[in-house]
Every structure is written in structure tokens, then in C-alpha cells.
Amino acid sequence: MTQPNTQDILAVMSAPALVCTAAGVVESVNEYAADWLETTTTKAAGQLLGEFLRTPGESLTAFLQRSQRSGHACCKGHVYQVANRSRQIAMICHAQQLQGLQVSGHLLLVFSNVVRSGRDNEDVADFLSHTNSVPPAISQCSATKCHLNPSDANETNSLSDVALGLVHEVNQPLTAIAAYAHSCQRWLSAGPAVHPRLLPTVDKIIEQVHITGQMINSLKGLVRGHGDERQVCDLNELVRESLELLALDSRLESCAVESQLEAKPCPVLVSSAQIKIVLLNLLRNALEASLAFHATESRLCVSVSIEEDIWASATINDSGAGITAEAEAQLFQPFETSKPNGLGLGLIISRCLATAHAGQIDYLPGLSHGASFQLRLPLTQAN
């Protein structure tokens, strides 16, 4: 197992769970996953996962129910949301032109057994080699990745990965629909006689439209619904946890991080997973901007503060090239990006998530160098 793969997987962060099967059906597995995490040990999880990967027919949901019933001891804090990872790894693989995860009917690799420090590469490698022996295509996929793309190992941005993966998934039925429709058009323009394949082809179009609809509905579930369980969290804590996740990114080694947390607690009523997505996305943007501008003396600074007694804010400054007036106007436009491999959706999705929490994300202009973004969330009563 090579370093880039491990790093790549470690760079994945948690998000609401969504699993794509080979048939393109998207399953939400959050609730099961959350319960499962509460009730399994790392070791038992590994064993169960091995079992799962060896059982081609079983769906992830069924697997999680089964493991929940078998009631393993707690490994809370040791495993991130298992299903999220499976999906995101699948998405990364998609995003990086990789093949092989559609093994045995599942477009997923369930990844657990990662200790919270995330630095324990041996554990990860061990787990991966175990899974490799089960679906052979996965090892092939790792090999292909190294072959195709050694330099891209660090360029994973999970929001873009998710979006990119979904773009790919939705594109498939769209392609089929377009080709079917064009065929019908040809048959119809050939003459008044009804071509025998016309009706069956129209049926196929309708079927593909339904499949597309299902995918889009599940995408909605990513932002709302599942993973939306809100609780009172301290923004300081969320920032700290996001920084921990960011620390898994090996590029951080060449960038100094400074954090100034608020001395008082900053209680906010949020879905911690979603806010961490937002924070991590802003942090990654800052990291990338800093490194792109000045590879050796990069610096990023995060501060948390309370404003006007009603807002808890997290401000992220980078030492990048800054944002031109032109680019500023495009900041929150979809598909506008300054990154070579970016999709231009990170800030949009982040803003949607912030808005869903009655908060906002702003670009703070006027900095002499670098750029500054701020996430503001309404303060709530601590319970």
C-alpha cells in the first residue's frame, strides 16, 4: 500500500452518508451508520467489514442492521462515519478516473478501522490489504491510481469529489436518454409507419428519467434530511475538530497554522457534520491558496469570536495571492473556480449549508494580502 492512497483516504472527511450502488441507486445510510459506530469495536468492525465485503449480495443497509444486532462494544471516537467514507472513497475514485469499486454490485468500499489520530498508517494499510484480497478490483484501482496520477494524491477536496461523482452518475442516464430520444426522432422522421422499437424505447426513456430523479432526490438528502440532526455545539470545538481533520492532509506540513479560539464557549445549534464540511472546505481553500502563492512560507490563521452577542464567527485568513475585484464578483457563482482541478461548487454548497443554519459565509475584502472568509452562525443558549 503506497503512501498517496493512504493519505488520500485519510484526507476524506465525514459528511452525511450516501451510498451509490452499481445500479446508480443512492442509499442513505446515516442512521444505521451512526448506530453502528456506537456499538462496534474497531477490531470487530474490521471483521464485520471483511465479512461484508465477502458477501456480494448484501446491501450496506442490511449489513449495518445485522452488525447492530450483533451488538459489539463501543469504539466511539475511533471510527469516523463509516458509510460516509465508503461513499466518499467511491467518489474520490470516480473523481480520479479510477475503476473498480463497483465490485459485486456495490459501488462502495466500507472503510473503518482508522484510529482517530489518523496517522497510524500501518493500521490503514493493514485494513486496506485485507479488503484488497476480497474485491480484486480495488487493488487494481489503487494500482491504476498510482499509475495515472501520482501527483493528484493530495488534490482531493471532498465537496468537489461528491459533486463530481454525482455529475458523473447523473450524466449516465442523461446520456442514455439523449441517445434514445435521438433514435426515436429518427424513426419518427423516417415516415408515418410506427417503428416497432419506438414504444419500447420511449419506455426506456421514462425509466431513465426516474433513475435520474432518484439520484437528484438523494442529492437533496445530502444537504437536508439525513445528517441534519442538530444539537448544541461549541464553534470552538467544531473548528478544533476541523483542524484535526485538516491535519490529515500531508500538504499541511508546509503551511503554518495559527488558531485563536474564543475564550468563552460559542454555543451554536447545528448539524456538526455539515458545519465541519463548511469549515473544512474553507480551510482547504485557504491552504491551497497559500501553497499556490508561496509554497515555503505559507500560513493560515483561524480565529473564533463572538460578535455583537448574537453571532459566533469563524474567520479564516490565508497567505495566498488574494482575490481580485473580478474574481470577487464570481466568488459565489457556481462552476467558477480558480483552481486547476476545481469544480467551482465548494463555496456554493458551503453557503447553502450555512444558510440552512440561519448563518452566512462572507468574503471579507480589504486585506492587504491574502484572503479572508468568515462563517457566521447565530449564537444559541447553551444547555
Partner 1 sequence: MRRSTVYVVDDNAAVRDALLTLLDSVGIEALGFDSGECFLEQLNPERAGCALLDVRMPGICGLELARQMRKQKSELPIVFISAHGDVRLAVEAMRFGAEDFIEKPFRDQDIIDRVQRCIELDCHRHERLRELHEVRQRLYALTSREQLVLERIVRGEPNKEVAAALNVSTRTIESHRAHVMKKMRAPCLATLVSMVTTVQMIEFD
Q: Near partner 1 by CB under 8 A, which window of 79-87, 167-175, 231-239, 266-274? A: 167-175
Q: Which of 3, 117, 129, 171 binds partner 1 (CB under 8 A)?
A: 171
Q: Which of 54, 116, 168, 264 binds partner 1 (CB under 8 A)?
A: 168
**Could you give the residue ranges of the DSSP H alpha helices within the chain?**
3-10, 30-39, 42-54, 60-69, 82-95, 121-133, 136-148, 158-190, 198-223, 235-246, 272-293, 325-330, 346-356
Amino acid 82 reads V
User: Which is nearer to partner 1, 24 or 265 (by Cβ)?
Assistant: 24
CB 293 within 8 A of CB 321: yes
Q: Say whether residue 117 binds partner 1 (CB under 8 A).
A: no
Residue 272 burial (CB count, 10 A): 19
Q: Say whether residue 154 binds partner 1 (CB under 8 A).
A: no
Amino acid 160 reads S
CB of 98 to partner 1, least distance (A): 8
| Interacting positions 4-43 with partner 1 (CB under 8 A) | 24
Q: Near partner 1 by CB under 8 A, which window of 35-43, 55-63, 197-205, 244-252? A: 197-205
Q: Which of 1, 25, 115, 176 binds partner 1 (CB under 8 A)?
A: 176
Nearest partner of 288 among 335, 337, 352, 330, judged by Cα: 337
Nearest partner of 6 among 120, 134, 148, 140, judged by Cα: 120
Please give the distance of CA 317 from its chain centroid, rounded to a whole number: 23
Q: Report the chain's C-alpha Rg in angstroms.
A: 22
- Under rule CB under 8 A, how many of the chain's residues touch partner 1? 38
User: Which is nearer to partner 1, 39 or 96 (by Cβ)?
Assistant: 96
Q: Exposure pattern of 256-270 as b/e (b: 16+ CB <10 Å)?
A: ebeeebbeebbbbbb
Q: Say whether residue 103 binds partner 1 (CB under 8 A).
A: yes
Q: Which of 31, 51, 61, 187 binds partner 1 (CB under 8 A)?
A: 187
Burial class (CB in 10 A: 0-12, 13-18, 19+), 130: middle
Q: Say whether residue 98 binds partner 1 (CB under 8 A).
A: yes
Contact characters 36-75, partner 1, x per CB under 8 A: ----------------------------------------
CB 378 within 8 A of CB 268: yes
| Interacting positions 306-365 with partner 1 (CB under 8 A) | 341
Q: Say whether residue 167 binds partner 1 (CB under 8 A).
A: yes
Binding residues vs partner 1 (CB under 8 A): 24, 94, 97-103, 137, 140, 144, 148, 164, 167-168, 171-180, 182-183, 185-187, 197, 201, 204, 207-208, 211, 341
